[in-house]
Structures are given as structure tokens and as C-alpha cells.
Structure 1
Amino acid sequence: MIRPIIGIPLGDPAGIGPEIVVKSLSKTEVYQTCRPLVIGDKDVVLQALKFCGLSLNIHSIQKAEEGTYELGTIDLIDLKNVDISNLKIGEIQALGGQAAFDYINKSVEMAMSREIDAIATTPINKESLKAANIDYIGHTEILAGLTNTTDPLTMFEVRNMRVFFLTRHVSLQQACNLVTKEKIIEYIVRCTEALKKLGIEDGTMAVAGLNPHSGEHGLFGNEEVIHVEPAVQEAQRMGYKVVGPISADSVFHLALQGRYNSVLSLYHDQGHIATKTLDFERTIALTNGLPFLRTSVDHGTALDIAGKGLASETSMIEAILIAAKYAPNFKN
């Protein structure tokens, strides 16, 4: 089987992104699974190698097809967009925000033209983007804007557990108000289609309960009775393989055991706590709904330790491996 080409934008050059990338590309398992291609700046990569005490060759290329993709050599699309003498490691700055955006933009161009098979992104910094007058708040918004995608869908994967989110960055009170029959049906449909794009068509989705013990049939909270149960029943009549509500204190464990192919979490922390407590470093975000597959580490630029060679590459490796896992089956 031909190893997929995974594009890896370098992230904010002032953060830990470059370090976790070069550390990841010193691992045999990455090259056994895929052909990693870095989109960044050669001077930044050289600096990261120095920070991490690594000795790897850099092969600068113009097109993905020119890469050697062999352990010991980093294949690089060099945008030459960082004056390393002006880069302040560990600091918020316009230079870092602009460079990070440029790497993502180039990665998207390559993914849209099918030059690469998927993208595995590294951390960027919201304040650095703002300093560079980049009119996006984060990765997902940038990717949505560059591809004209409406409301991309986030899925977390850790080990064999997959989690979707009905609501994300709203207050807990707002999240409860957004748990409606119509929205749940919409997300059951969207999540099922997202799984199909990844090549997952077997198994059953579970919708988590909102209240303790899913409200015990209205004894303490009636959202399940009014919204969740009717939504699941309607989706079942539509032909979707879904059950719920399943109490949130057990549904994630059951999914981990393989009973469900995914869980629809009803609010941000419900799903985040379950996945990150299980394995913080190996919890990977997948953005569904884009014209291409994108995975990402689920941590930030860690400016406080940038330049020290201390950052763990575990999450970056996992993001690359999951991109490689799904890329051959991804359907646009």
C-alpha cells in the first residue's frame, strides 16, 4: 500500500510547533506509516533541530512529488518567510502569527489540489495572529475561511473512542439551551456522514445524556424526555444507527470498550474531560466537513517552554498517525 503524504504546517515558529515536528520526524513509526512533508521555513527547522539536539538532513523541495520521505531526512516546502534574527522565541509577535498563517495557507492549497493526502496541524497562537492582523481566531476558522466551509465539525479520537460535540465554546447555560430535538437530529446526521467520509460505516452512535443518569425520566431534568429521546427516535426512523440518551457517566467507557462507534457529547467539557482524562497527549482533534482530512494536536504553543527542547512530541506523532490512518479511506 502506498503511504499517504501528510502535510505538516510548522505552526507558530516562536512556539513549540517546530520542536515537536522535528522530534516526530526522527521516529521510525512515522515513516513506516506515511510520507511526512513539512511546510515551513528552513531556518526555523534548523533552529528547532538545534534546540532538540537532533541531527537530521533537510531536503528543500518545490513539490510533494520531489520528496524522498526517508527516516533521517526532513522533506520541506521552504516558504522562506522568517527572518530568524528577528524571531523572538517564546513571545507573542506578528512575525509568528503571519508565518503560521502562511504555512496553513500553503498546506490548504496543496490539499485542495490533491498534492498531499491530509494535513496534521501544529499549534498556533491567537494573540500572534491578531498582532499580524490576521482576521481569524484560530485554526478551524482559518481552514473554514480558506475553503469556504460552513460550520466545520470537530471530532476527538483517543485510542478507539471517537467523540463529537453538539455545542462547544458557549457557556454551560447556553449549551443546555442549545440541546434541542432539531439540533440533535441535525448533528446525528452530520456526524454519521463525517464517519462515512473516514470510511467508518459499521457500528452505532450513542448520544450522551445531559443530566445525571439522563434525568431518570424527568425526575431531575427533562431535557432528555423533551428533546434527546424524541430526536434519537426520529433519527432511528430515518434509518440512522443511533441510541440514547446514554448516561454520561458510562457512555464513554462503553464506547472505549467498542459498544459504540462514536459518542455525541452534548457540551464541550463533557467530551473533553472524558477523552483527556483517558489520555491527554493522545487525544487528537479531527476537523470534518472540509474538502480534505485535517488532524491536529490538542494543545497550544506553550511559549513558556519554547526553545528549550522540552516539549513532548507524543501528540504530534499521534496526529500524524491518525491522519495517515484515515487518509486512504477519506471521501470528499
Structure 2
Amino acid sequence: MKAMILNSYGEDASFEAAEVETPSVKPGHVLVKIAASSVNTVDTMIRNMGKDLPLSPDTPAILGMDFAGTVEAVGDDVTDYSVGDEVYGCAGGLADLPGTLAEYIVADADLLARKPKNLSMREASALPLVAITAYEGLQRAGIQPGQKVLVHGGSGGVGHVAVQLAKHWGAEVYSTGGGEKQLALIEQLGATAINYKSESVEDYVAKHTGGSGFELVFDSVGGANLTKSFEAAAFNGQVATTVSMCELDLTPAHFKGLSLHVVFMLIPMLHNFRRDAHGAILKDLAVIAESGALKPVLDEQKFSLEQIGDAHARLESGKAMGKVVVDN
């Protein structure tokens, strides 16, 4: 089969087209012909950092985690899927799991679900990693109907899904963005947009919560921005973050009695730990998408499999609006 291979890592590393052996299906897995895959920040981190990142695969490596496609073969012990089923999932591209930048993938059936019927293959491929992350963060933070929820980075990959899921679960949603296009997208998704460049945390907390703070803050920006999340949260509030690889003074969180939830959605793939939970989340996300409450935003630029280097560059440029998708 055709695949795009990385033979080395580093900022100047480039993908090379190669013919590799089509993988054989094995028990508990399905062989999927990939129609589309999407690029996530973690993919670019792996390409740039290589073995400095503990989850990077050995070279030559096939990267890519998210995909949508059609089942072509079913392994022993798999009862939920049949040949011809359209599926989506996040199932490779790290550690010893070959990725999605190829014509086929053998994926653990626990990491999949049937593709939402109302989404295209391109749209479905954009969802798994970011949607599972948003889902886990909001659920672990105990989201409830009627809560005031703040999503940092609501026009980003994870953020734009978190806004939609929070709305679906009945919250009153607010979200930060830094430019006209970003703020317009946030409003389009049904949240109240906050320009973090022109409004201080103190100002928007006063404006939207009467100074009491948000009961739940979902921070898809993380790092130093976590201090803003602590400042924006209400007493005994919940803060969920997807980016916490940093040293941080937790004193503000202490004096507010905050609960901090760190989401690292790659754990099931990396450690073969409760993988069926991801399949269950993807099934629920399909129901939510089919109800009309969740639709991924795709970047306007399209890329073929051979253009994966350009797709990585597009994501890294910061100019993409929505998910960057590759047509396999």
C-alpha cells in the first residue's frame, strides 16, 4: 500500500512516499481503508521532537492518529463491525501503533465507532482526538445544565468542539478568542465571544458573572494561561485543561478550592488502558452529531496524502481555521 513515511525526526524532517506491506487483520481489530485523516498538534510535535517525546514511534514511522474509512476485513473476536461499515476513530500514529498516513490501518475495534451518518468522511476524520478530549474534560469536570462555562480557545480544534458539547449539555457558554474570525466563529457556534486581547479576566468575569466567576473553565490553551483559568473560576469551581506540561504556582487554585482535571486522551492507546471507553465516547459523539448539535469546522485548504508536509505546515502556521484534513 501507499504510505507517507518519516525516516528521521526534526524541524526539517520531511515525509517521503513509500510502498509498504498492507497490514493483516488480527484478533480484536479491523482492517480499514482510510478515506481521510486529520492533523493534530501532537502529530507536529512528534515530527519535530522525535524521541524527545516519549510517545513517538520508531523510524521509519507512519504518523497520523485520526481517520474515517470503510471496514475491509474483520478479525476474530470482533462482533460489532462488518465489512462495508463506515467507521471513525483515533487509533495509531504513536508508540508501536502505525498511523493513518497510508491507504489502510489495522485498528483496535475498541477505539472505533460507526461514522456519524450526516457527516462526510472528511468531517468525521476531524473529530476523534479533539472530540474525545473535549468530551472527557467536560464530563470529568461534572458539567451540568445551567452552569456558566468558559472555554479558552473556542475557535481551536478542541475548543470549538468543547463549545458545542457544553451547549448540547445545557450550559451557558462563553469563550475566548483573539481575532475577528475567531470571535465570529465562537458566536456562530452559539457561545458568547470574549476578546482576550482587549478584555482582562477581571473585566469579563465582572461583565458575565457579576464577579462570582465561572463554575467550569475548560482550558484548551493551557500552560501560563492556566493562571487566567484559576482567576476566572468561581469558588469551588472546576478547571479542566488539555495542556499542563508546565511548572505553575497552584496557590490561587488553593485559595479558591478549585478542582483541576488534566486530560491526556492518548493514555488508552499508549497503555492499552480502557480502550473501550473511547469507543463508547465516539458512539455517543455520533449520536450528538446526528442530532445536529456537533459539527466539526474544517480549514478551507485541502490536502492530498502526498501533501502531508504542507498540511503540517498549515497547522503550524496558526492560520488554519478549524481542523486540517488530508484526503487519503
Q: Whose RCO is larger (CA < 8 A, sep 6+)?
A: 1
Q: Which structure has more strand as a fraction of its residues?
A: 2
- TM over 0.5, yes or no? no
TM-score, normalised with respect to structure 1: 0.31
Select the structure of larger CA radius of gyration: 1
Greater helix proportion: 1
